Structures are given as structure tokens and as C-alpha cells.
Amino acid sequence: MKKILLVLLSISSSISCSSDDNNDQISQVLVPDNYSFQRAGNNTVSFLGQTTRLNMAVELKDALGDPSKTETELNAMYLSGTGFSSDELNNSGKNLGGKTASYGGSTTAKQYFTDWIIEVTGVVFPAWNMDASEGIPGLYTDEGGSGRSVRINGKGLEIDQAFTKGLIGALAADQIINGYLSSAKLDSGTNIEDNNNNVLVEDKPYTTMEHFWDEGFGYLYGKEVDITSPTLETGDVLLNYYLNSLNKNESYTGIAKVIYDAFVHGRAAIVAKNYTVRDAQAKLIKVNLSKVIGDKAAHYLRAGVSSFEAGNKADAFHFLSEAYGFILSLQFTQKEDGNPYLSNSEVTEKLESLMAGNGFWDRTNVELIAMADEIDAATGLVTK
């Protein structure tokens, strides 16, 4: 019964496309309604390692805001993948550090994260309840507005925020955009030949190429309960969460569907052994996922400005810390032309200028707006 349906589907899709000669290749790819793929009745989709890492990121984010944690404990979580709440994570053999800044941008970006662990435990935690001021780490609370309290270093940086927003680019986006969805990865070794001949990974129901694509998928949807119908409300703290946020912004309505459909379509193309279609879908994913980072980097700089204007410094420090992490992430994006919105050196220059002098305490609204405008110019997005 199912087979008949599939045949009917493929006939109808070729009929509907027959008027458009350019779509010949696409008509050969049988695209299912959602991300579910089988071989001989067995599910071929698997990305456990990605789910594990996304869960680690959730706990690490909390730990970076817990003054009882030591440098050794945070390093164990980040670099060794141990010290989490469950054996499932601790015994997984996975970690976040080994997947940070692996492909795009520069591997030197990883040092931001290791330095932040030293700084948050050595500088911010000891001053947890002391009053922060220019150059002095500690606690800062807004009188009005949200009444927000932030724990900041001497330059006004909330390290847990910068760290997590930095991981969105350096881990989640980098692994998808510059890692698993690159032809360098997908076509490595004998992947094409194996995929063409249905040569499966030993004891697994999938080919290596199929699995790589799924692992890319997993960095975005790894915490979804049902991947055939993603909610983007998963408790994720990385790309999944911010894709949801962008999707609700009317300038980007539908972006989540575009990305999901492209993941489905590209995976179907691998099954159909059509690598041209696969790469076109990969590009669609890369370009659209990059917008999440491009938009948020500039958006949070502007949110910092509005908060300064409203007299809410703690809010401003919070938003600027998010902006800082998203700017770090910009080097891991990819535009239509295959280049990132900003190179590693351009990113580094921006991060250094944000931290000049006493950092956020010294930044003027003019400087911050200029930087947001520069980012918009690089991304082609409008965040004003």
C-alpha cells in the first residue's frame, strides 16, 4: 500500500513539474512531508551525539551562573564532558570543547571560551554579591525598568551570556554550516561511492553521507521531542531557541519552515543520490541559519542602546553581553557567496573595540549604533 502511494506521489510530482523544464532534477527526488527516512522499514535517522551536546550546553549555561562552581568543575563540563547531572551525559564520551570553532572562522576563537571559564570563576564568582562599578566586577541592579540584576566582570560583561551566545556560532552553527553540510564533509573519503551503492556503515541502517546530514540536522533539532513536527520550544539554549525567536519576527516569518523543508529536501536528495539538489538545499539552510546570528548580533547592540537611553544599565549590560557572543559567532556564518558575514579578524576587531577601556561602561550610544549599522551592512539585514 505504501509503495503504491509513493509511486503515485512521484507521478503526481513529475506531472506537476512537467511544465517547468528547469525542475527536471528536483522531480527525481522524492521529498517526504517531514524528516522521516527509512530503509527496508528501518528508521535511518540518528543524531544522539548532538542531542547529548545540546543538553550539555543547557547545563553548562546554568553552571556558568552558579558561584559554587570551580574552574576545575567548569572545565570538566566544557572540555571533558563530565560533571553533569546525569550519567547519560557523563558517560556519553561527548563534549562541547572538542566541537568548538572546528571548521569556520578561526580555531583561535576557542580560547575565548576557555579564558571565560578562568575569568568567571576567578573574578566574577568571588565578587558575586559585591557592588560592581567601572573596572570593578560584581553585582549590578537596575532601580527601574525590569529591575534586572547582572553579575559582570570589570568591563560590564556577563560571561555566561557571552559564552552561550558564542557557542551558538562556534558550536551549533559551525558544526552545521561549515561542518556537516559542507561538501568537504559530506563527500569525504568514499562517501559518494558508498552512498551511490547503498554501502551502509557497519551495523547501521544508514550510509555515512546520510548520517552526516542527520548530524547536522541534530545540532538544530536535537532536543525536539518529535522531529516530524518541530516546535522550536525545546528548552534548547542555542540555535533552536533563537530560530524560534527570529521566526516570530515579522521580517522573517516562515524562515523556520524554509530551513526545516530544506533539511527534509536535502536528505531526500541524498537518498535519491542527487548531490546538486542536496547542495542547493544545504546552501538554503546555511544562508537562512546565518540570518539568526546576523540579526541578533545587531539587534542586541541596539537593545543595549535603548536600555542605556532608558537609564537601565543592567539591562544594557545584559543585551550587550548577548551581542558580544553573537558577534563572536558571526565568523561561523555563511552568505550566498560562501563567505562569512565577517571574517575572524573583523570579528576580533569589533570585540576588542567593545572591550576598550572599561568596556561596556565606556561605550557610547553613537559607537554602538555605528557598530550595529556596520553589521547590518555586512549581513544585508535590517535591524533598525
List interacting residues with another protein (CB under 8 A).
Answer: 58, 128-129, 131, 139-144, 146-147, 149, 161, 232-233, 235, 237, 241, 244-245, 248, 303, 322
Q: Which is nearer to another protein, 195 or 240 (CB)?
A: 240
- 101 backbone φψ class: left, alpha, beta (φ>0; ψ -120 to 50): left
- Closest separation between CB of residue 38 and another protein, Å? 31
Q: Is the dihedral of CA 361, 362, 365, 369 positive or negative?
A: negative
Q: Which is nearer to another protein, 64 or 269 (CB)?
A: 64
Rounded to a whole number, what is the largest CA-CA distance in the chain? 71
Please check whether residue 174 is in contact with residue 332, taking contact to mean a CB–CB distance below 8 angstroms: yes
Q: Which is nearer to another protein, 21 or 143 (CB)?
A: 143
Residue with cell 503504491: 4
Neighbours of 74 (CB within 10 A): 23
**CA–CA separation, 342 and 329 (whole Å):** 9
**CA–CA separation, 159 and 71 (whole Å):** 14
Q: Which is nearer to another protein, 215 or 322 (CB)?
A: 322
- Closest separation between CB of residue 284 and another protein, Å? 25
- Closest separation between CB of residue 320 and another protein, Å? 14
- Closest separation between CB of residue 310 and another protein, Å? 12
Chain center to CA of 192: 27
- Closest separation between CB of residue 335 and another protein, Å? 26
Q: Which is nearer to another protein, 22 or 129 (CB)?
A: 129
- Closest separation between CB of residue 322 and another protein, Å? 8
Q: Which is nearer to another protein, 56 or 177 (CB)?
A: 56
- Closest separation between CB of residue 156 and another protein, Å? 15
Q: Which is nearer to another protein, 261 or 322 (CB)?
A: 322
Non-local CB neighbours of 301 within 8 Å, separated by 6+ positions:
319, 320, 323, 368, 369, 371, 372, 375
Neighbours of 190 (CB within 10 A): 12
Please check whether residue 376 is in contact with residue 342, taking contact to mean a CB–CB distance below 8 angstroms: no
